[in-house]
Every structure is written in C-alpha cells, then in structure tokens.
Structure 1
Amino acid sequence: MSTSTSLPNPQNSDRDTPTLKATDAILKVGSSAFVAAPAQKVWETLIDTSTWPEWNSFVPRVTVYSQPDCAPNDTPSPILQLGTKMTFHARMDPTSSKPQKSTDTGLMVKEFSAPNAETGAPGRIVWAFDPDAPSSFSPSLLVVEREHEILVGWLAYVVKWMYGKKLDENFELWVVELKKFVEGEGN
C-alpha cells in the first residue's frame, strides 16, 4: 500500500462516521490506498458488487436483497445505492485456500454520494448493520458503520478480541485488491 505523508492518518482511524464519533470507538479498522485511476472508475468498481468476486477475496460475494427502486418480484441490481439492503458473505481468512464457511453480515447503505470531478468532491458510501436483517444484532449490543468502527455495547469488546487483528488484515487486503483490479493488475 502506498500512502502519502500529507494524510494525517492513512488508515482513517481518526475519522467520524455519520452517526458515530471515532473517539468513542472500541475497535477501529480502516485502510486506504492511492489508486492510479480516475475516481469514477474506482467508484464504479466499488459499488458494483458483481465485480467483487474478481478482486475482493475478503468479501467475494454479496447478496443484494432489497433496492429502493426495485419492484417486489424483480431481482435487485448488484449496483449499490442509497437504501440498498444486502448481505456480505465474508471470508475471515481470505488468504487461505482451505474451504471455509462465510461469515454473513446484513448491511444497509445509509449514505451515498458519487465523486464529482467538476467540484473535486470525493465519493462517499456508508453502510451499517441492518437491524432488520436475519441474524442481526440489537443496536444496543453492536453498531458498525462503513469505516468498520465497531462501537456501542459490550459485544464490541468480544468482536475486538476475537477479530480485531484479522479485520485489520482483511480491510487492508480489500483496498490493495481494489487498487490492483482498478489499475488493471488483477485481470
């Protein structure tokens, strides 16, 4: 991963999410990478979950089960948008070639704004636990938002103890693989 000294914290561990303050975090996980490609190409790759099996070994599969503009009997688009409800099927040991059961997490896109080349505004997508998803935790036990800062409730300490180091590694792998894919090194 290449980082710039101009970034105060290239792992983004000091950034607040829309509803959670970084200073309140029990576990903060983040990564960043500079990608030699237009922001729009990176954005389009990130929001198109159908490309994830090609580059994302940590979350190689996403099941989108609800889109705001999707009729009840239609198949939802794999393209993320505000209000998308989905399940991440994560591989907690993505570098292993051994078969493993996925860790499924129900999420919902809470904030969505594409990068704007004219104004220089960055793209921002925030997903968080979907409390209505099957097997979801009560928000009093665990709150997770896009920067994968796990806050609020006693269960966050268990997640930190059990998965903290592995999540650090996996999110670093996520951005490295996204970078390689978008830059054409992973095809």
Structure 2
Amino acid sequence: MSTPLSDPQNADRATPTIEAAKATLHIGSSIFIAAPSTAVWAALTDTSTWPSWNEFIPRPRTTRPPSSHPSYKKGTKMTFHVRMDPTSDKLQKANDTQLMVTELEVPNPETNTPGRIVWVSDSEAPGGFSPSLLTAEREHEIKDVEEGCEVRNWENQIGWLVYAVKWMYGKRLEANFDLWVQDLKRFVEESQ
C-alpha cells in the first residue's frame, strides 16, 4: 500500500465510554496488513497464537467463561501477562492486567463492515483497580481496504493512577502499541 494511513495514532478516537479529549492517557497505533480482515481477526482473537507473534503480551490467559477454544467472546475475562520492555533480553517480571471483553463485532468483507473488539480494565478481578483509580478501555478495529486491511488500535485511560502510569510507562506503552501491530502484521503476512 503506497498511501500512508491517516492519523496512525488515532488521536481523536473515543472508546465506547471514554472520550479522547477527556482521557488522561491516550495511546494508539495503526498499520496496513496485506491480508483480508478475516485472517487478521483470526490471529487477533485466537490467543493460542499469541506466544508465537505478540512480544508485548505473549501470555494472555482467559479466565471466564471457560472455553475449549482460546478466543474472545463478549463477556470474556482475561489476564494479560504484559512484558513492559519486550525488546529486552533481560528476565523481567510480567505485569498482570485484568480485562474483560465488552464489545465484539466480527468483520464482514461482503458488507465492508469492520471488525472490532473492545476490552476494559476489570475492576472486579483480583488485583483490579477501582474505576476512580484507573479505567482503561481499548479498541481494535480491522477494516478491509484495497489489497488488504487497516488495523487500528487505541486505548483511553482515566483515573488518579493514570498520572503515574503516564509518567512511568507512557513512552514505553506507545512503543509497545506500535510493536503490537507490527508483530501482528508480520505474523499474518507470513502465514498467508
């Protein structure tokens, strides 16, 4: 694809419950993938493939509802074992993030309907934060375009703890969001 994506950081994109302008921290990344949206969707929603491509979150764990297939459904609760510095060879403690899928729409190339998945921080999970301390809401959008698809990924965070998150991890999270879509692109395109 010769034309770069417009607004690759998705700077003005709201999540379902957090406006971009009201977010204390907004992170986003986008990429073109030379594959149909259905192939990208399959890789993104089948968490059993993540260890082979996702350097940022190589170990997601679905906690509820239990399923024989490791993919997302609306209401799925999971733990992301996050590697904050995935480019480092040093042994590092995984930071566990508790999340829940709140919206899920499968892409439909026939109607040109984008796929989207939204997950939010799960305040009720063990180790979860009160919404007044930290609420994170993340959205992935996969849209068919000529010769492939656009993948957009953005997160809005609000709450008192977000100021510390932004100060301590803001730049690292931006780099990790870019790495996430680059890893996804490499995995999907090499699988085609």
Same fold (TM over 0.5): yes
Query: What is the aligned counterpart of 1:179 among 182, 185, 192?
Result: 185
Which amino acid in structure 2 is aligned with residue 27 of structure 1? L
More RCO (CA 8 Å, sep 6+): 2
Q: Does residue 1:48 correspond to 2:46, yes or no? A: yes
Measure how far apart 1:149 and its partner are.
1.4
* Equivalent residue runs for 1:20-99 within 5 Å: 20-67=18-65, 70=66, 77-99=69-91
* Structure 1 contact 142–156 (Cα < 8 Å) conserved: yes
- 1:142 counterpart residue number: 134
User: What amino acid is aligned across from residue 35 of structure 1 in structure 2?
Assistant: I
How many angstroms apart in 2 are the aligned matches of 1:96 and 1:39?
A: 31
Q: Secondary structure at the match of 2:9?
A: coil
Note if contact 1:3-1:10 (Cα within 8 Å) is conserved in structure 2: no
Q: How far 1:159 sits from its partner (Å)?
A: 0.6
SS at match of 2:130: coil
Alignment length, in residue pairs?
Answer: 177
* 1:11 counterpart residue number: 9
Q: Alpha-carbon deviation of 1:5?
A: 4.6
SS of residue matched to 1:29 = strand
* C-alpha distance after superposition, 1:82-123 (max 9, x if no partner): 111000000000011111100000000000001111110110
Q: Secondary structure at the match of 1:106?
A: strand
Q: 1:80 to 1:170 in 2, by over 3 A?
A: same
Higher strand share: 2
- The alignment's C-alpha RMSD in Å is 1.7
TM-score by length of 2: 0.88
Whether the aligned pair in 1 keeps the contact of 2:5 and 2:31 (CA below 8 Å) is no
Could you say if the C-alpha distance between residues 10 and 140 of structure 1 is closer, same or farther in structure 2, counting changes exceeding 3 Å? same
Q: How many angstroms apart in 1 are the aligned matches of 2:13 and 2:161?
A: 22
Name structure 1 gaps, 5 residues minimum: none
In structure 2, the CA distance between the partners of 1:6 and 1:184, relative to structure 1 (3 Å rule), is closer
Match among 100, 116, 120 for residue 124 of structure 1: 116
Q: What is the one-letter code of the residue matched to 2:119?
A: W
Q: Is residue 157 of structure 2 the alignment partner of residue 165 of structure 1?
A: no
Q: Could you tell me the TM-score, scaled by structure 1's length?
A: 0.90
User: Per the alignment, do residues 183 and 19 of structure 1 end up closer, same or farther by CA in structure 2, a change over 3 Å counting?
Assistant: same
Q: Which residue of 2 aligns with 1:103?
A: 95
